[in-house]
Amino acid sequence: MAAINLIIDKTIMELCSKGDLEKTRQYYQENSQSISNLRIECCFNIACKREHLEMAQWFYSIHPDLDVNNWGNAVHYRYHAFHSACETNNMEIAKWLISLTKSNTIANYNEYCTIACASGHLELIKDIASRVPNFNVSYKNHELFHCAMNNRYINSNMSVKYGYIVEWLQTMKPWVYKIQSFREELSHYDDDYDGWIGTHYPEMDTNEERNWNMRKYVVYASSDAAPNKKTLIYKLPIDISRMVICFV
């Protein structure tokens, strides 16, 4: 019996890998009682990795209890569906998987961001961040920054992609993340093939510092030095602008 089940498991995984949805459906209907939930999860992950979106959607439709946020242990981490979608640059599948999130916890979104970052997908990181009000890019002791910088240092052929992520982090928290010439300051992340390093200042990542920088920005945006003089804050009378600053 065990040998037969192994043959059934192997066959459905092969059909799934090939993307033959009709044959997979038929085979499943004929052998559903012998296919374990674990094997269904494997097939779901294979479909995502092989970029068979319709196949993945079908598996999810017959097993809506599939936990797309079950990251598993470290050994199986790389076989997670979302990780596979990022590795193959399939943003359609990646965004669909995010939409399936049942718990919508901050921890889940953070995990998605880290995986997207490891594959250099800035637009996906932005998409995930947009789903969380006041998303904190410095989660888990600046994990996103360290992920981008470490991968940039290791994978020189993807340096530009990781560099864009660091630049985006700088726009999100310019008082915490800085980009400098590697000639000006040595760092663990220095790399002389493109001439800059990223550094971060965790001690600056406080509410007081954020509020202070927001106030400075409002003052700048309402002054004659502001590059965009069409903003509401610039058009406000100076006395009202001062009141706004007090509430930032």
| Residue in 45, 32, 41, 42 with CA at minimum distance from that of residue 5 | 32
- For residue 37, is pLDDT > 90? no
Return the H-helix or E-strand segment holding 48.
Answer: helix 37-49
Taking each helix axis from N to C end, the angle separating 106-118 and 122-130, rounded to the nearest 10 degrees, works out to: 170
- For residue 176, is pLDDT > 70? yes
Return the H-helix or E-strand segment holding 180.
Answer: strand 177-181
Lowest mean pLDDT among 53-62, 99-108, 184-193: 184-193
- For residue 188, is pLDDT > 80? no
Task: Provide the pLDDT confidence category of residue 70 given band limits of 50, 70 and 90.
Answer: low
- For residue 30, is pLDDT > 50? yes
What integer pLDDT is reported at residue 225 of this predicted model?
A: 63
What is the C-alpha to C-alpha distance for residues 34 and 75, in angstroms, rounded to an integer? 26
Longest C-alpha distance within the chain, in Å?
Answer: 83
Kindly state the average pLDDT of the residues 6-14: 79
Chain centroid offset of residue 103 CA = 17
Report CA-CA distances (Å) from 35 to 29, 39, 217, 233: 10, 6, 59, 62
